[in-house]
Amino acid sequence: MSKRTVVVTGGGAAGLMAAGQAAENGARVILLEKMKRPGRKICISGKGRCNISNSADIPDFINHFGSNGRFLRQAFAQFFTPELLSFFQVHGLPVTLERGGRYFPASGKAPDILKTFLRWLGTLNVDIRNNSAVKNISADSGKLRIHVSGQKDTICDAAILTTGGASYPATGSTGDGYRFAESLGHTVIPVRPALVPLEVQGGLHPDLAGLEVRNAEVRLIVNGRQEGKQFGELHFIKTGISGPIILTLSGLAVDSLQAGKEVHLSIDLKPALDRKKLDKRLIRDFQKRHKEIFSQVLRGLLPAQLIPFCLEQTGIAGETEAGQISKKQRKQLLNWLKGLQFTISGHRPFSEAIITAGGINLKEVNPRTMESKKQPGLYLAGEILDLNGDTGGYNLQAAFSTGWLAGRSAARSTKK
């Protein structure tokens, strides 16, 4: 009996895993990649180190995807972090666990992930066709027809759509897959940037650009109500505010901005001390160092780069002797330290977003197989789905898991 043909469209994390699994399960596999080589987004992820997964258990993992995370239960039940780590171990790539439960290749080099996949696909005789941009997918007498410019159409028994989202378009993720899916009857939840830096009204103060603040607590305030809170590291960049905790809150911020709501960030620079304890520390510092100027005393409280901004915001002259700071001024400083405010006016574009929010409506995909409920023989996996998780390895694990399930299901569905 001749092998059935499975075509995988898109050579990212989900596509590479899907192609290998389909081949291991007996299919003849063609992987179509529009760029000169697959895996470009893998190679730049995690600042070139590629955070492949997280040590969180399945319930916690799912919580990092919000209400849509429930869709992942079936995929995670079959292929999750332990299976992914085993996969890399079997294929000769050591993996290391770092703070925050994040897994990385031990080499610290994201391209090693891609090399591992390409070696694996090579042993399975997967036909990788680079520079092959799919233009259309259509149903054809119970099968699917894949049209690539300048090439003969490919008729296949199953097609796996792993074209990614719309983030980092330079890597090839330009949202093509949404159009293909819509032409086959799918609904696309409006896409928008996620895990993306936020822009500050009036622009960022020039003194702050490049500053990294650790151990801060950030509250996201929408129309006067707290809608999110994160503790950890943030970065001030030329265009606004970024860093792990800002990226995590950015999804809520983007959706709120698009809904026309007022969005603010309130940053607690001293979360380890409540207001009463911090006030006592300020009183103690000002009394003990009463002859020193205020800006010098601030060096014990803040990074040097943040001090001019603090002076400007609080209106306290830096040359004022600490002993001359009034109670009113001390309260101003206390309020600033516990609630540094920024009005968020926008967000950076898709070209700077780590992932895409929105995508193929999950109600139209079978979570047990990743097969489309709209078009038999069509499978969907990875970022093209309406799934977006927090930073920390969650999104790549979801891509690997859904790709694994789609690949196996697509190959097995062709067997009689």
Q: How many CB atoms lie within 10 A of CB 36?
A: 9
Query: With 0-12 CB in 10 A as exposed, 13-18 as middle and 19+ as buried, what is 259?
Result: exposed
pLDDT in tens, 145-176: 999 988 999 999 999 999 999 887 888 778 89
Q: How many CB atoms lie within 10 A of CB 210?
A: 10
**∠ CA(25), CA(30), CA(34), 5° rounding?**
140
Task: Determine the 3-state secondary structure of 253 from DSSP.
Answer: helix
Mean pLDDT, residues 326-331 taken together:
96
Cα–Cα distance measured from residue 317 to residue 340, given in angstroms and rounded to the nearest whole number: 18
pLDDT in tens, 197-211: 999 999 999 889 999
pTM: 0.90
Mean pLDDT, residues 270-276 taken together:
97
Percentage of the chain beyond pLDDT 70 is: 99
Cα–Cα distance measured from residue 395 to residue 54, given in angstroms and rounded to the nearest whole number: 10
Q: Are 162 and 8 in contact (CB under 8 A)?
A: yes
| DSSP secondary structure of 276-344 | HHHHHHHHHHHHHTTTSBHHHHHTTTS-GGGHHHHHHHHT--TTSBGGG--HHHHHHHHHHHH-EEEEE
Q: Which domains does the chain have, with CATH numbers?
A: 5-193+356-413 (3.50.50.60), 197-347 (no CATH)
What pLDDT is attached to residue 1? Answer: 56
Q: Which token pair is 159? A: 């097609």
Cα–Cα distance measured from residue 397 to residue 283, given in angstroms and rounded to the nearest whole number: 49
Mean pLDDT, residues 408-415 taken together:
79
Cα–Cα distance measured from residue 62 to residue 76, given in angstroms and rounded to the nearest whole number: 9
